[in-house]
């Protein structure tokens, strides 16, 4: 990617260590930047992105993301109305706020158990020991799949996650296809079992979801399960990992979360803004349209760098400062408009419980090393490891 005389590599450790200074340079020099390599525009300002993400009349989500050709239909994430409206209505019946609220006690139990497991060691690798097993266990239990299969789910979904965004390495694309095929095969075996033997789980709920005589087809169900599994844990792993690192690098804010009662909900919103688990999304212009003073032609790709929007000083005063009680904090980490993240409430709940409990349990937690590596995935931002001591 280039910006004027600037050139940087999306997946280099130099870029991933601090993408925000690069986003800032783009905001200041070319806020609506034409990317010749992709033949489309990159948006870096908050208000430009809000306008695009909420405008489903002139911008399409279909085929705006990475494409892996297969026999599974597009997911809700890559659908426009009326398909998107129909799919979302059906899924909402199985993924209600009440369903998520009922998980509070279970999430707390899992968090406490994970921290109990490492308490006597005085150290942990916070991604593998904490940030990863929590959300993968929660989504596996919601779907009704055995907990012993969680490593299989993690391996398959990570193959897909790393391939989100511009793919220049064919091996990455092939691994993503392999991961997709592994998950499709798994669910192709499980879904008929749930039809024959319904249970109190999300797969059964999705099978039974119906609106005006309409239900999910088998292919639509597969697409939804893949989306829920990958998005349902990958982003939350990164929320917990990125959030914990931000707190450890800002001891004053770590201490606020530890000692000030009732700020957990605000804190998670600010951590989502400060270092977003999802860095960008995209749309395709349906018609010729002006965005931020630039003419975008019908069919051109528009990349919305939501992580840059979250650091835009026009939307957030002193945006590079971490302030756990920032109000308001209308970040775009869950997107906006009709494609606002279905799992936002679950991610918030898991992040709030995990981070608040961890800082209270281990008040002397420190990063064991600053030699940290980030996963080479430009869209889903997360650490490979985060060793800490306490």
Domains for the chain: give ranges and CATH numbers: 2-389 (1.10.630.10)
Q: How far is CA 234 from CA 57, 238, 336, in A?
A: 30, 7, 19
**Mean pLDDT on 61-79:** 67
pLDDT of residue 227: 87
Between CA 60 and CA 286 the distance in angstroms is: 6
Assess contact for 12 and 29: CB atoms under 8 A.
no
The band of 335, judged by pLDDT with boundaries at 50, 70 and 90, is very high
The band of 5, judged by pLDDT with boundaries at 50, 70 and 90, is very low
Condensed to tens digits (0 to 9), the pLDDT of residues 80-124 reads 999 999 989 888 887 788 889 899 999 999 999 999 999 999 999
Say yes or no to pLDDT of 68 above 80. Answer: no
Helix (H) or strand (E) holding 291: strand 289-291
Helix axes 133-143, 150-162, angle to 10 degrees: 110
pLDDT of residue 1: 43
Say yes or no to pLDDT of 67 above 50. Answer: no
The band of 292, judged by pLDDT with boundaries at 50, 70 and 90, is very high
Average pLDDT value for the chain: 90
pLDDT of residue 69: 43
Assess contact for 341 and 335: CB atoms under 8 A.
yes
Report the range out of 56-65, 155-164, 242-251 with the highest average pLDDT: 242-251
Between CA 115 and CA 36 the distance in angstroms is: 48
Residues for the chain: how many in total? 390
């Amino acid at each position: 990617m280039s910006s004027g005389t600037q050139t940087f590599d999306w997946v280099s450790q130099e870029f991933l260590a601090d993408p925000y200074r690069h986003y800032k340079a783009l905001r200041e020099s070319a806020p609506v930047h034409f990317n010749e390599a992709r033949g489309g525009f990159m948006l870096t300002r908050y208000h430009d992105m809000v306008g695009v993400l909420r405008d489903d009349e002139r911008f399409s989500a279909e085929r705006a993301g990475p494409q892996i050709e297969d026999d599974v239909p597009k997911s809700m994430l890559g659908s426009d109305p009326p398909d998107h409206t129909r799919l979302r209505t059906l899924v909402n019946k199985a993924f209600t706020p009440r369903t998520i609220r009922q998980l509070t006690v279970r999430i707390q139990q899992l968090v406490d158990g994970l921290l109990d497991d490492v308490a006597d060691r005085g150290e942990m690798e916070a991604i593998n020991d904490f940030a990863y097993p929590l959300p993968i266990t929660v989504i596996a239990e919601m779907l009704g799949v055995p907990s012993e299969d969680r490593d299989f789910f993690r391996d398959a979904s990570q193959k897909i996650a790393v391939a989100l965004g511009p793919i220049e390495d064919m091996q990455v694309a092939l691994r993503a296809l392999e991961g997709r095929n592994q998950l499709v095969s798994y669910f192709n075996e499980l879904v008929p079992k749930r039809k024959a033997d319904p249970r109190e789980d999300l797969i059964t709920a999705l099978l039974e979801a119906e609106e005006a005589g309409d239900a999910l087809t088998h292919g639509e169900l597969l697409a939804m399960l893949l989306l829920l599994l990958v998005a349902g844990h990958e982003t939350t792993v990164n929320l917990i990992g990125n959030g914990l690192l931000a707190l450890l690098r800002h001891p004053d804010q770590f201490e606020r979360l530890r000692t000030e009662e009732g700020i957990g909900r605000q804190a998670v919103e600010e951590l989502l803004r400060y270092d977003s688990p999802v860095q960008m999304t995209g749309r395709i212009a349906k018609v010729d349209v002006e965005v931020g003073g630039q003419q975008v032609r019908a069919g051109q790709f528009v990349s919305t760098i939501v992580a840059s929007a979250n650091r835009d000083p026009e939307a957030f005063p002193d945006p590079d400062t971490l302030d756990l009680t920032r109000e308001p904090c209308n970040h775009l980490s869950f997107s906006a408009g009709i494609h606002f993240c279905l799992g936002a409430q679950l991610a918030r709940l898991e992040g709030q419980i995990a981070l608040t409990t961890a800082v209270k349990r281990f008040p002397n937690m420190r990063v064991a090393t600053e030699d940290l590596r980030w996963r080479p995935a430009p869209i889903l931002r997360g650490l490979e490891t985060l060793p800490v001591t306490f």
